[in-house]
Amino acid sequence: MSSEKSLPKAYYQYLHELQAVDFVLVELSLYLDTHRDDTQALAQLQQFQKRKHNLVAQFEASFGPLYQYGESQTDAKHWAWADAPWPWQV
């Protein structure tokens, strides 16, 4: 039986975009571990950091917290983390 609240397409688009940006951040971080003076890669990493920050802010504005344990803003009146869907239900 499907839950009454189905997720909009944008929800998955955001997550897919976030996944791609996160992967680039991982690759660049590993690269920079051994190429610490590559300023071009460092600039690219900072650019992707900003991009990720914006994506997370947009996602959380419309769909609630993305991370647990204080990494996402928490609403003072309502513990949004417990709302469906849980990460494994997405």
Helix and strand counts by DSSP (H, E) for the chain: 2, 0
Amino acid at 19: Q
Binding piece for other proteins, criterion CB under 8 A, among 12-20, 53-61, 68-76, 81-89: 12-20
Report the residue from 16, 36, 53, 78 that binds other proteins according to the rule CB under 8 A.
16
Q: Name residues whose C-beta falls within 8 Å of residue 45's C-beta, 6 or more positions apart in sequence.
A: 25, 28, 29, 32
The tokens of 21 are what?
A: 């940006």
Report the residue from 3, 34, 76, 79 that binds other proteins according to the rule CB under 8 A.
34
Which residue, 38 or 60, has its beta carbon nearer to other proteins? 38
User: What is the CB neighbour count within 10 angstroms for residue 28?
Assistant: 20
- Is 10 a binding residue for other proteins by CB under 8 A? The answer is no
Residue with tokens 């504005």: 61
- Is 40 a binding residue for other proteins by CB under 8 A? The answer is yes
- Is 36 a binding residue for other proteins by CB under 8 A? The answer is no
Report the residue from 15, 38, 72, 73 that binds other proteins according to the rule CB under 8 A.
38
